[in-house]
């Protein structure tokens, strides 16, 4: 994008050149408003770039408000219904970006996530928004006419004023990408409440003395049904060197709280007890570990057999012993030590309390001209493109509101 002086008056200053910030900028500038986007990174959309294994799971075909977590489960409905997944898909298609559905409605770029970043930058440029990278905000203050912002660019401190200020700098997940809690601090500075924040969509950690934390199982994967707090996910599970991961675990991590058990069904399509009884009748002379290995990955079968002290031929095991073995597969209960934290979390749960925001415009109710969008808000989606859709929808809602107010 063309460089212009970062000094003087703007209609809108947006802090954060991520998914929500760039979407907001393209909308806010579309009707002639002078819009400046600031980011401390060297390139825009860094989380977009690394998402989806570098191919960006940019939305989901089956977006529903029920698949978002918030203290107010109704808050996200307005933005999600006015700028839908189909709207974003149409934008992607208009830019000639090829994509495909991977699983469960998840849409990925056929090529690179950088195409989505280039699309957003092009949309901003077409609308006339200005992007300034390597910029650190030193201070933001409310004035009678809007906001005064002190920003450092290339070691030089600049003074900027704006009628609107948009906080779009994300949450605390993946700090190596530059994530901080600055967005929450800004919100609190202007009197908005911030709910408890914690890592979401994150692997669970277990002690090495447990089967879940056994290094012998690292790399083993299987389909699983994982449940906690009346919520269940049927997806893949992966054993790691520190515990459990994979889509099913990442999903349930957003619903799990410290000290709570998680129930895992390692063979969700199979009644293991009935299968074992049938094999006892048909293959009684086979070792129980061998029979179990026909139903599960071999290393996992061996670990379960060892953990339940199941040995000898299956014919020698009574119904009670088979029941205990089956429960270790179909009803395995584990209590995580914790999560891997923000280092590997895909999102931040919690954030700026939605009670202080207008759900249609994303504007702070008591601070005219202040908008909060994207991950920094207390709205967190499921794994699978939902959080990007929230970024697109909330950014669009704020940008539209800003543009309409300037007419």
Asked if the model's pLDDT at residue 284 lies above 50, the reply is yes
CB 169 within 8 A of CB 375: no
Please compute the mean of the pLDDT values over residues 42-58 and round it to a whole number.
96
Please compute the mean of the pLDDT values over residues 366-390 and round it to a whole number.
98
CB 62 within 8 A of CB 105: yes
Please compute the mean of the pLDDT values over residues 105-132 and round it to a whole number.
98
Q: How far apart are CA 216 and CA 181, in angstroms?
A: 37
The CA-atom distances, in angstroms, between 137 and each of 14, 155, 158, 377, 402 are: 11, 12, 10, 20, 21
The closest of 70, 38, 5 to 349, measured between CA atoms, is: 70
Asked if the model's pLDDT at residue 377 lies above 90, the reply is yes
Asked if the model's pLDDT at residue 3 lies above 90, the reply is no
How many residues appear in the chain? 407
Please compute the mean of the pLDDT values over residues 356-379 and round it to a whole number.
98
Q: pLDDT tens digits for 139-163?
A: 999 999 999 999 999 889 999 999 9
On the 0-12 / 13-18 / 19+ scale of CB atoms within 10 A, 41 is: middle
Asked if the model's pLDDT at residue 237 lies above 80, the reply is yes
High-pLDDT (> 70) share of the chain, %: 98
CB 227 within 8 A of CB 238: no
Q: What confidence score (pLDDT) does residue 164 get?
A: 98
The CA-atom distances, in angstroms, between 53 and each of 110, 130, 349, 353, 382 are: 12, 29, 22, 31, 17
High-pLDDT (> 90) share of the chain, %: 94
Mean pLDDT for the chain overall: 95
Q: Where are the beta strands (DSSP E) in 81-220?
A: 99-101, 106-109, 130-133, 135-142, 147-153, 156-167, 198-200, 204-205
Straight-line distance from the first to the last Cα atom of the chain, in angstroms, rounded to the nearest whole number: 25
CB 381 within 8 A of CB 349: no
Please compute the mean of the pLDDT values over residues 368-382 and round it to a whole number.
98
Report the SS3 class of residue 268.
Answer: coil
On the 0-12 / 13-18 / 19+ scale of CB atoms within 10 A, 134 is: middle
Asked if the model's pLDDT at residue 310 lies above 90, the reply is no
Confidence grade of residue 17 (pLDDT, cut at 50, 70, 90) = very high
3-state secondary structure 86-117: HHHHHHHHHCCCCEEECCCCEEEECCCCHHHH
Please compute the mean of the pLDDT values over residues 272-300 and round it to a whole number.
94
Cβ-based neighbour number of residue 208 at 10 Å: 12
Asked if the model's pLDDT at residue 2 lies above 60, the reply is no
CB 362 within 8 A of CB 385: no
pTM score, two decimals? 0.95
Residues 6+ apart with CB under 8 A from 268: 223, 224, 225, 234
Q: How far apart are CA 19 and CA 119, in angstroms?
A: 11
Confidence grade of residue 5 (pLDDT, cut at 50, 70, 90) = low
């Amino acid at each position: 994008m063309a460089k212009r002086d970062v000094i003087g008056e703007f209609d809108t200053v947006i802090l954060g050149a991520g998914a929500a910030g760039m979407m907001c900028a393209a909308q806010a500038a579309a009707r002639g408003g002078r819009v400046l986007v600031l980011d401390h990174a060297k390139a825009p959309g860094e989380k977009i770039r690394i998402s989806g294994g570098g191919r960006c799971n940019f939305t989901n075909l089956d977006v529903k408000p029920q698949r978002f977590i918030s203290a107010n489960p109704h808050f996200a409905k307005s933005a999600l219904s006015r700028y839908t997944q189909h709207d974003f898909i149409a934008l992607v298609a208009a830019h000639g970006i090829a994509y495909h559905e991977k699983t469960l409605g998840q849409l990925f770029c056929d090529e690179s996530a950088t195409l989505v970043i280039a699309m957003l930058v092009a949309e901003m440029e077409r609308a006339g928004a200005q992007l300034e990278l390597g910029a650190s905000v030193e201070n933001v203050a409310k004035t009678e006419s809007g906001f005064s912002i002190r920003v450092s660019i290339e070691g030089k401190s600049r003074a900027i004023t704006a009628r609107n200020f948009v906080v779009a700098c994300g949450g605390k997940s993946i700090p190596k990408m530059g994530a901080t809690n600055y967005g929450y601090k800004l919100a609190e500075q202007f009197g908005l409440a911030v709910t408890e924040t914690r890592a979401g969509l994150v692997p669970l950690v277990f002690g090495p003395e447990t089967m879940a934390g056994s290094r012998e199982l690292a790399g083993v994967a299987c389909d699983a049904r994982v449940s906690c707090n009346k919520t269940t996910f049927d997806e893949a599970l992966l054993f790691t060197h520190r515990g459990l991961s994979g889509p099913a675990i990442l999903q349930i991590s957003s619903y799990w709280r410290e000290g709570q058990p998680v129930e895992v069904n390692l063979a969700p399509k199979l009644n293991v007890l009935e299968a074992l009884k049938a094999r006892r009748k048909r293959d009684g002379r086979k070792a129980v570990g061998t029979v179990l290995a026909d139903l599960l990955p071999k290393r996992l079968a061996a670990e379960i057999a060892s953990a339940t002290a199941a040995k000898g031929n299956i014919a020698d095991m009574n119904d009670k012993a088979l029941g205990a073995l089956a429960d270790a597969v179909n009803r395995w209960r584990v209590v995580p030590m914790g999560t891997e934290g923000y280092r590997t979390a895909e999102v931040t749960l919690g954030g700026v309390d939605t009670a202080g925001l207008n759900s249609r415009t994303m504007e702070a109710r008591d601070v005219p001209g202040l908008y909060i969008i994207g991950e920094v808000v207390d709205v967190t989606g499921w794994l699978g493109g939902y959080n990007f859709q929230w970024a697109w929808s909330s950014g669009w809602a704020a940008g539209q509101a800003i543009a309409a107010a300037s007419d």
